[in-house]
Structure formats: C-alpha cells, structure tokens
Structure 1
C-alpha cells in the first residue's frame, strides 16, 4: 500500500510556518523504519495517512511510550483538531474533536464515539463530570483517531466530531510470537504533583497458537501546581487498572481465532467538589467512586483460500458505575449514583474481490446494542436505548489511481424510560445515513481527495425528559477536500517528505445538545463550522525528523429564539504544533516540541495566546548489562508558563519533569 510521509518546516514570527515539496513510492513500514526499494530509512514517530480521503491519525506504541501521558486524553491532544477540556486528571477531563465532544458543561455531547477493543465506553450528558473515560494509557498499544464523520459509518451514528478507538496490548507484543514467558516492568515518576505510575506486564505464550497477558497499572498523583506556583485544587487522584487478555488460534492455517479481554479501572475521591470540570463550590462537595469495566469476546474466521470470507463476531460489554454521596449535606439531586451498562453484538464480514477492472474491499455488518442507565430521578432519567444497525462500506480501487469509498448505515432505535422513573415514555427513531469519499493518487506522489457525508445523532437516554427532543434526532452534513503528498529523495537521496492538508465544512441542525452561550435554556437551531487541518513530516537518513500539525477553525450558531446568530464557543483556539527530533542509531532519540496557540476572543470567555515547549529524550542501550532497558526523560512546559487552555476550566500544569524506566525480562 502507499505510504504517508513528511514535510519541511520553518519558524516565522515565533510561530511555525510549514512548506512541503514532492515525493512518491510504494513502501512497507517495518517497526521504526521504512523499507523502500530495498533502502532502509528512518521515519518520524507518527505516520500520515496520505493515501486516503479519511482524516485519520494513528498513535502507535512508540509515541505512547515517549509522550509519558498520565491520562488517555493526553495521548490524543497532539492530533490536529483534537483539544482537551482539562486533561491532566482522569476526572473532569474531556476530548473535543473539531468543536464536538466535551465542553465546559457536559463531558460529552454524543458526537465523539469512544471504543476500547470495540466496546463502546463512556456515559452520556452527566452534568460537570467529564468524558468519563476512566482508564490508563499504559493498557494500550495504539490509539486511532478519526476526525469528522468520514470512516465512522462502521462504528456508529452521530459521530460528527469523530471516533477514538483504543486497542489493548497483546502478549505477542512482548513474546514476539515465540513460545515462552516475558515480564515487563515500567516505572514512571513526575515532579509536579509527585506522580507515580507502575505498569507490570506478564506475557505468556505456551504454544505457537495461544497467548495470555496480564497488565496491572497503578497511577497516582497529588495536586499539581500551575506556572505561577499555585496549587490547582482537587487535581490529585489514584487510579489502579487491570487488563487480562488471551487469544487462541486453531484450524487449518490458523484460520480461526478467539480473543477474550477484560479491563477494570477504579478511581476514588473524597470531599471534592461535585463540579469536577470547573470546581465550582456552589454545587457542594461529595465522596465519589468510579468503577469502569469492559469485557470483549471476539471470534474471527479468515481462511487463507477464500478472500470473500473474513468474518468477525464481537460481543462486548461496558459497565460504568459512579457512586457518590454528599459531604456538604445539601442533599442535591445531583448526588445520586449513576450506572451505565452497554452491550453490543457485532457480525461483520470483509470480502476482497475483483469485478472487471476494479478491485473491492467490501465490509458489511449488523450490530445489536443496548445501553441502560440506572434510574436517577429528576436529575437524569433512567431507561434503555436499544438499537439495530446495518452498515455497508465498499472501498473500490479502479486501478488508475482513483479510489471511491461509498458507505451506508441504517439505524433503528427504541428509547424506553424506566417505568419507576419520572419519565417512563417510549419513543422510536430510525434513520439512513452515509457518505462517499474519493481519492486520486498521481504517479508524482501528489494526491487529491474529497468526501461528503450525512449522519444522524439518535436521542440519548437523557432526552427521555423532553418528549420533543426524544423524537428529534440531530442531523449533520460534512464536506471535505484536500491535497496530500508523499515521496522520498526530495531534498536528499534518502529523505522522506509527506503532508496532508484538509479543508472541512460541517452543518448541524435540529440541535438539541446546546443552548445559546450565556443562557441556560435558549435553544440553538443550527451550527455551522469550517476549518483547516495540516499534518506534515520530514525525515532524513541521518536520523533527523520533524512533525508539524496545525488546526484553524471558525464556527457560528443561529437561534430563532435569540433572534440571530453568534460565535459558537465549543471550538478550540487556533494551534500549530512543531516537533524537531534527532535519532542516533537505535539507542538515542531526542526531540523538542513547540506548541503555539493563538488567543481566542470569539467567545464570552476569551483566552490568551501561549507558547509551550516540551523536550523528550529516549535511551535504549543495545549491548551490555542494560540491553533491553528503556530510559525516557521529559520536561513538559519547559519555561514554566502560566496559562489556561481555551475550553479548559482550570489552569494547566507548570514545569513538570518526568522520568521512566522500562525493562522486558
């Protein structure tokens, strides 16, 4: 398949400006290198998908390790278009993609889907709690972020912002597919908040066809300080996490496989503000405990002699329980316990075949799901959200550089309130949604692409309290166009250049998730957004590399009730992120990351511009007593800048030193 690679960059006026030039070629990524025409080249830490119209970024194990993230949110904030609402702590943080997802009021608006090994996780519009993605980065080997609705029709409806998919580690990642036992221990400490993370992985492969993994992570931190040295209250946490996973292959040519996985993360807080996002004392204090569990059973049948059959059957279960009780004694209805249970059964087949001059990668599937929420009385309705979905996506390669990918999804919903609840009604909704994308690859390495999509966001359980909203799905269209480039031997014989520039326009109507800024109940009719995203990279055979990401976005709402339009405030500030790095063989990797964020004044809560610097170093001894050891050192917010990112409701952390040691035995 075609590759995706990087770009030359220059810093202008203390903000980076990027320019890129040509390249092409077939290449195969192997570990940390690119095998291109039998020439082994070093690449950047992250690949750019220049061969597809989908706005997609995948963060692999190397980058996960080097970023030394404390929370899942911190793993994805370097992706263009992705912004954090807070982020340094599991509680009160959220993921915002292109202006959708988390905001200062709710942790989710149902427009960013989050999945762990295929299980849909997170709750609904819980007031001032956060995204509810309570899990540890150390459990995962990759994170895939789809921005916009392109590519989302296989995974769910209403993904106007996008999809975040996390994949847990496997035993074979450490055994290398060989029979035997491996143990990996990672210890990480951070100065700001005296943070400590311990990850212990037991990987066992008793035969060539079976593997088992156990991973226990202990993640704890005290309250951190901002750039002015002030303690940011209620930012301390302790979160232990567990992952158990096993896979067995059987049958001729290992055509059959069964994978079972289970993960569990818990988090306890005592005498903390109910308002986990902003810490507003008006809501009183609570004792609170989170327990998040996911269980996934996956069967796959992929016979080597039949390209028409690649069947996956996935049964997943996600359970999130939030137990809270009042400390302040106010007796607020907000303090009730909350429990979400989501069960999904997916049948999917991928068929590869040719028809005339075209080749097809056809993915079809049917999905049954049920989400239930514990009765919460008047603060949040209890009930069930049952859905049946059918989807079909066909990637059609015409053999002349043109690829078309049409996709359709039909979803039928039955929303039923708990008969003991204040809102016991029952509602039915159904919708057909879909889109098409086109990508044309020139022999020179340039590519042109575009896409159009339409999706429908089914009403969540929260809308049982409003009969109008319970039968009014939100609807959205999205259009994207762009240009990409990938090549080698551009400035030198053995360099790699690549970039992808995407322009998008999104229109949302029949809006039920938002109100006019500064009001509590004035409805919004429509939201219109447009923006640009840039991903670029450049690498040389001497180990030098650079990554560039940028995002610029504008948005407005229209409200009949308010008598006009205004700036829609959920979008992030404009941002440019530049990383310069140098590898010295396989032993040393040094990098400097600069994040330039513009001021945001198109809002009732403006934020100032800021320039943040992060440095990272990785050392992997290749011989001697420390062979196989990995030592990582990082300094985040190098110059101890005091700032509060736009959309966040608390100050960011000041200078933080991080040191981690990892060894596989």
Structure 2
C-alpha cells in the first residue's frame, strides 16, 4: 500500500525532514534520541519532541516491559516497581494517568495502582513512540505503540514464513519462547504470534551474596500472550485491518499488600484507511476498538502465601472510536495542512468480592471497587501553515468533555456521584517554527490540555489509597522554546551532527497529587493542588561517522507547588544518557549505553497534614534518592552463511550497580524496591 502523500508532505514541511517515522532505513535521522517533527497521523501534529524507537532497538535493549522500552528516553522515568508487571512511566514529571496511550490506534485508559498498567509484550512491537509535552489532549504527552505485521517479517518475494524466538536472562532465570506464522496472498496479509514467558525473583545489584537475601519474592511472574493481525488492501489507496491482542499474566502484589494477581487482557481494533491518491483533501483514517481487562486477586497473609477466604475481581472495560482526516490546501499561503477529527472513549469499572469456597461473585459489593462509568469525547483541528521564508505556523483548537457517574459508590456513609458530573474545556495551541538556515531552526510553542481523573483515583482505595470522588480535572498550560541544529558534513564528507536544545514550563491548575495526611491509608490520599509548576529541559546530540553512531542526552524536570513553595516528591532524577554503536561488518553489530542519574535532592522538606498544616520533615526522613550509574552492552550476530539466524547478546547493569529509582522508607529491605542487578541475556531467532 502506498504511503500517504499528506504524511510525506508534512514530514518535509517540519524542521527535521527525515524522521524514523517515515522510512525503515533513513539516511539521516536522530536515532534513540528526541527528534523534531512528525507526520499527521495522531490527534496532535506539531513540531514536538518525539523519540521513535525501532524494532531493532527494542530487541537490543532486551526490554522486558513497555516501560523498559522508554527507560533511556529523555525526561521519561520508570515508576511503580519493583515487579515488572506493575511498572509504569512518567513524562516530564507527570505519571501515566497524564499520558494519551494508543496501541494500534486503540486508546488505553486502564491504569490501576498495584495491579499494573501495561499488558503488552514488547517482542510484538514494530515501533514505539513517546511525545514529550502536551499532546492529544494530555498534559504529559503521548505514547503510540504499533504491532508488527506480516509485511515486517516476510522475506522479499515470499508469501509465507515463520519466526521462532527463544530467550534467557541469567539474573532471574527468565525463559521466553515465542513463535510466529505469517503470510501474504494477493491483497490479504495475516500474522499469528504466541509467546510464553516466566521469571523468578531477580537479585538486586551491589555484589551481595546470592543467598536469597538480595531478592524479593514479589518480583517473579509469568505471561502468555497472543497476537493476530491481518489486513486487506481494498484498492491501491484503501485498506482494512484488524488487530487482536490477548495477554494472560500472573504476579504478586507489591508494596505492603499480600495477594496474587492474575490478569486477562484483550485489545481488538478494526481500522479503515483511505489515502485517496489524487485527492489532496482526503486522507481519512477510522478505527473502532474494544479493550477489556479483568484482574483477579487472591489474598494471602505473608511470604508463606497461605490464602484467606476473600478473592477480588476488578473489570476495566472500554470501547471507542477515532475518526481523522488530513487535507492539503495548496492555494492558501505556500502550503496549508489541516488535521481534524473526533474521538469517543467509554469506560466502565467494576469491583466484586467472592469466596474461595464456592467461587461466587457478589456483584457491586466491594465498597473500595464500586461500579462506575465514564466517557471522554474530543474534537480538534490543527492547521499547519507554511508562510514562506522558512516560517511555519501551527494553530490548534480542541474541545474535550469528561463525564463520570457511579450507581453504588459510597465512602464513609456518603453516596458518591449518583447524578454524574461533567467537565469540559476548549483548549488552544500555537506553535511557531523558523528555519533560519539549512542548519539551524528555532521553535516556540504554547499548548493547553484538560486531563480528567482516572476512575481509580476517584473511587478506588485498593485497601491502601483513599479515594476522592470530588477530584477535578487538571488544566495545564505548557510553554516551550528551543532550537535544532543539523550538519551533514561537519568534519568530513561522511559524518553528520544533529543537536536539539529546549526548555519548557508547564503550569497546571488542580493538579492531582498525593498527600499522606490520613494514617489509615498508607499509600496516600489523592488531592487537587491549586497550582503546580513543572519546568526543565532537554539537551540532545547525535554524531554519525561512517558506521559509528554516538549520542548523548541530558534531561531535567523540576516540580514545585506554587502555594506551599515545596518541591513535588515524584519528580525524576536529572539524567544523562550516552550511547555508542558500530556496525563492524555485515555480520556483527556492537553497542553500549551508560546512564547516570544525579542525586535527587529537590524533595519536599515539609508534609501536608490534616487541615492543610505544613509539618517539617526531618532531614533523615526526606525522600532523596542517591545518584547511580548503569552500563549496558550488547552485540548482534547474523552469520553470512546463515542469514535466517540472528543471535542477540547483552549484559545489562554490567557493573552490578545497586540502585533505586524511588526511595521507599516503608520497605524492610533494599531488595523490596531496588532494581535488577547484572544480567547476561541471550536471544536466538530463526526466520524461515
């Protein structure tokens, strides 16, 4: 199927004219670091900071989860650990609840503390993209995942094939086995993949004796996942595609809770696209989707895992649609590109309690997990206008509506949201880009967003969080300025340098944060803060010489409560990432990456108690995080005489660093929240 002419025109119109989004092997691009520019294929298309991670990069990073895929992306932090099944991400200091996440075009709203947020196997990804800054109606940004298809795996000229993968991690003895079959017949393509994976608890770094004292029994788990993806080209410019993904996972609850979770996850998407070749006004894309997540928890008492009589089932079901169109107007200015559309996302959340003896569910009985329904509607238009002389103007307008209700929610004897509640906002945006020369460009941006609270924040205590049904939606205003530099022949005819520097300030009214003012809820109380300010920036460079590619990035985010003057506790550490890669010959590729996180010293010095009183926190109890450094190395070998075989090898945390991403003062030992130590990882793939 031919690539959209509109998308190609847009990519050319923006600052960086060759991004990984448009070609599999571009001759000039920013690899593994943030780039400027994107094609109009999402709700927000402006000159934004985007990190596009290819399938090869995902494989070489040995990512176990989706958060692992983004762990080196600038200003992206991994949160929620230590169990891989409950890890999440934050972007520029805002957690995943502030992010617009889509998988093959289906919006994801499932986000539940202690019960995970991601159920996607990274082995199935064709690409993963993270956008920093307000995007698609979300204050933090956007994450876009795309599954592989038969076209990505078939050999040239072949109509049928298969792929077998087997992998092993030494630290937690994780074993993974997957297989795929795929084919192409006339205009019909199909792919079916299955994966089975299991892992033991991992050992933390630091050279501890491997006697079990450096492990935490809640970091083990298992997963089975399945992907079916098929498409039919109705014509040269029209395509119908279906994607069905199923995941079944099991893991222990983390932190101070005791229970074994099992999750059934299903995501199904039907997509229609019409690029209308020869018609500049039509580049239409539509999808409808269903997302169902059922999580079961069997409670136990302690490490012996002796079960009690209660079990819990939580259902998060959603369905929705997204309709978009792109139009190119050549008679307005030098070129005008319009991107507009409408979306609807409908969610239901339900909790039930049962007994182990008879397995019967008692509907709508769990006060901490009530029945609740919500919907989010959105419509938008972006106009990217090339005004000439290297100047591009992109105004945008968006409307969002959020509605929530509950038929049975109660808290402390009070009925919650029986009549429902609606919030809405018109959001504006304006982005300016000036191409000063062939090498240098400047940009400035202003974007607004309405970010609605999740059902888990409004109602769910999880026996640790105190719900707050009165939470209001957040309203953010993000300002950003920066510059990009590119030179294809810096020192020789065979080298190139790319660099980007930007700073941002995001002011958020009614920010949803966490206070620890109620001792009955050890995991905190969700509250609206009058106004918080996030500020920071990113510095990114990449130098390429022949077969060598080196890159470096530095990112910082500072969060402050403007009312109290206190730093926010959940901001990421300042982080430096340096990587190097070399294609030695046709058979061998080698690479390495070093990550250094500076000591997190900007932490609250006082806590908010009942009544809003600020109480000083003793210096030895402040949630600072020590500095840490990790080094990863990898190698990929494809034998010249056996091109169907690929051997990938890596060593993560090469020097066995003992480090933590967050400080958990409630833990009994470092093993309860420290990250994985050194691991030797091997993956063998055979494509026939």
| Fold in common (TM above 0.5) | yes
SS in structure 1 of the partner of residue 636 of structure 2: strand
Q: 5+ residue gaps in structure 2?
A: 1-7, 38-45, 209-213, 353-365, 460-465, 604-621, 665-671
Distance 1:310 1:223, change over 3 A: same
Deviation per residue, 1:367-412 (Å, 9 max, x gap):
1221111146321332111232211112222232112222221122
Measure, in 2, the Cα distance between the counterparts of 1:383 and 1:264.
Answer: 24
Measure, in 1, the Cα distance between the counterparts of 2:368 and 2:649.
Answer: 46
Instruction: Choose from 282, 289, 303 the match for 1:316.
Output: 289
Task: State the partner residue of 1:497.
Answer: 497
SS in structure 1 of the partner of residue 152 of structure 2: helix
Measure, in 2, the Cα distance between the counterparts of 1:358 and 1:31.
Answer: 26
Superposed, which structure 2 residues align to 1:113-152 within 5 Å? 113-124=100-111, 126-130=112-116, 132-149=117-134, 152=135
Q: CA deviation at 1:330?
A: 9.6
Q: CA deviation at 1:501?
A: 1.1
Matched, 1:305 2:278: yes
Measure, in 1, the Cα distance between the counterparts of 2:309 and 2:433.
Answer: 54
Kept in 2, the 8 Å contact 1:255–1:301? The answer is yes
Measure, in 2, the Cα distance between the counterparts of 1:187 and 1:390.
Answer: 44
Superposed, which structure 2 residues align to 1:552-571 within 5 Å? 552-559=556-563, 564-571=564-571
Matched, 1:400 2:378: no
Measure, in 1, the Cα distance between the counterparts of 2:544 and 2:518.
Answer: 47
Superposed, which structure 2 residues align to 1:369-384 within 5 Å? 369-375=345-351, 377-384=366-373
Deviation per residue, 1:171-222 (Å, 9 max, x gap):
1111257451011112111100011122212111012x11000111122211
Measure, in 1, the Cα distance between the counterparts of 2:492 and 2:197.
Answer: 45
Distance 1:88 1:441, change over 3 A: farther
Measure, in 2, the Cα distance between the counterparts of 1:147 and 1:518.
Answer: 34
Measure, in 1, the Cα distance between the counterparts of 2:497 and 2:9.
Answer: 13
Measure, in 1, the Cα distance between the counterparts of 2:468 and 2:600.
Answer: 35
Superposed, which structure 2 residues align to 1:61-72 within 5 Å? 61-72=55-66
Measure, in 2, the Cα distance between the counterparts of 1:659 and 1:32.
Answer: 25
Q: CA deviation at 1:473?
A: 2.0
Measure, in 1, the Cα distance between the counterparts of 2:103 and 2:181.
Answer: 20
Superposed, which structure 2 residues align to 1:432-511 within 5 Å? 432-462=426-456, 470=470, 472-511=472-511
Task: State the partner residue of 2:617.
Answer: none
Task: State the partner residue of 1:14.
Answer: none
Matched, 1:415 2:393: no
Aligned length: 605
Superposed, which structure 2 residues align to 1:222-301 within 5 Å? 222-228=200-206, 229=208, 230-251=214-235, 254-269=236-251, 272=252, 274=253, 276=254, 279-280=255-256, 283=257, 285-301=258-274
Q: CA deviation at 1:316?
A: 0.8
Distance 1:235 1:663, change over 3 A: same
Superposed, which structure 2 residues align to 1:503-522 within 5 Å? 503-515=503-515, 520-521=524-525
Matched, 1:99 2:89: no
Q: 5+ residue gaps in structure 1?
A: 5-23, 37-42, 102-107
Instruction: Choose from 160, 180, 190 the match for 2:139.
Output: 160
Kept in 1, the 8 Å contact 2:82–2:673? The answer is no
Q: Comparing 643-652 with 197-206, which one deviates more in the overlay?
A: 643-652
Superposed, which structure 2 residues align to 1:605-644 within 5 Å? 605-621=623-639, 623-624=640-641, 626-644=642-660
Deviation per residue, 1:558-580 (Å, 9 max, x gap):
45xxxx32110111111100012
Matched, 1:46 2:32: yes
